[in-house]
Chain A
Amino acid sequence: SQTIHQWPATLVQPVGSPLSLECTVEGTSNPNLYWYRQAAGRGLQLLFYSVGIGQISSEVPQNLSASRPQDRQFILSSKKLLLSDSGFYLCAWSAGQGVREAFFGQGTRLTVV
């Protein structure tokens, strides 16, 4: 069966510090991978999605970046965090090509102080 792992679950980082959130998927190959951000009490904003290794599509210009060094690994990074980067970050995968069901990780609650 397929599983998705996302860590850490919670993170408190000072302004200006770097960020690295990791997401891995098991039990499937060549998945579509997604990073979303959710502010408290609000909707899900698509940040990045990837249809293959090294292929990253950015939906929102900001100080975040994403990389996909391996087929089932998706990393969200920042060189210098801003206060506005605080939020609930969710990684997800789907089989792609019109498959409608996406599976989400447990999320990382990031607080920038």
Chain B
Amino acid sequence: GESVGLHLPTLSVQEGDNSIINCAYSNSASDYFIWYKQESGKGPQFIIDIRSNMDKRQGQRVTVLLNKTVKHLSLQIAATQPGDSAVYFCAEILNAGNMLTFGGGTRLMVKP
């Protein structure tokens, strides 16, 4: 998509604060939306997903919100820690569950 060619935006938060990372998607046919975390020099790691017929899902310290009306996905991280510093990508599953594509990413920097 277009977002892969753009420099990643940065979100800077204080340790202990809550973080909200946003993502806009364009394909309404996606079955699932997923958040991945990528640390420097490594491959992305799965954080949490949400099915397209849900609007909220909670995990450990993370919550994903899906607003299908405006095609918007967000990841909320509670009590952000230095170890949360990474790039966060939204992704979606297409093509009968066989194609995983990534959307825009956000670099999260946690200040001690």
| A residues lining the B interface (CB < 8 Å) | 32, 34, 36, 38-39, 41-46, 49, 51, 57, 59, 90, 92, 94, 96-107
What's the A-B contact tally at a CB cutoff of 8 Å? Answer: 81
B13 within 8 A of A: no
* Residue of A with least CB distance to B45: A104
Given contacts A49-B100, A104-B45, contact A44 B4 (CB under 8 A): yes
Chain A: which residue is nearest B33 at the CB level? A100
CB contacts (< 8 Å) of A41 on chain B: these are 7-8
Contacts of B98 in A (CB 8 A): 32, 49, 51, 96-97
At the interface, yes or no: B5 with Cβ under 8 Å from chain A? yes
Q: How far is the CB of B22 from chain A (nearest CB, A)?
A: 15
Expressed in whole angstroms, the minimum distance between the Cβ of B87 and any Cβ of chain A is 9
B61 interface residue per 8 A CB criterion: no
Closest beta carbon of chain A to B10's beta carbon, Å: 10
Chain B residues whose CB sits within 8 angstroms of the CB of A103 once the complex forms? 46
Shortest A110–chain B CB gap in Å is 14
B99 touches A46 (CB 8 A): yes
* Option from B4, B31, B42, B96 in Cβ contact (under 8 Å) with A106: B42
Give the residues in chain B near A105, CB-CB below 8 Å.
43
Residues of B within 8 A of A97 (CB): 96-98
25 pairs, CB–CB < 8 Å, chain A vs chain B:
A32-B98, A38-B4, A42-B5, A42-B6, A42-B7, A43-B3, A43-B89, A43-B102, A44-B44, A44-B105, A46-B101, A59-B101, A90-B43, A94-B100, A96-B98, A97-B98, A98-B31, A98-B96, A100-B46, A101-B46, A102-B46, A103-B46, A104-B42, A107-B41, A107-B42
Interface centre among B45, B96, B100, B104 (most CB of A within 10 A): B100
CA gap between A39 and B105 in the complex, in Å: 13
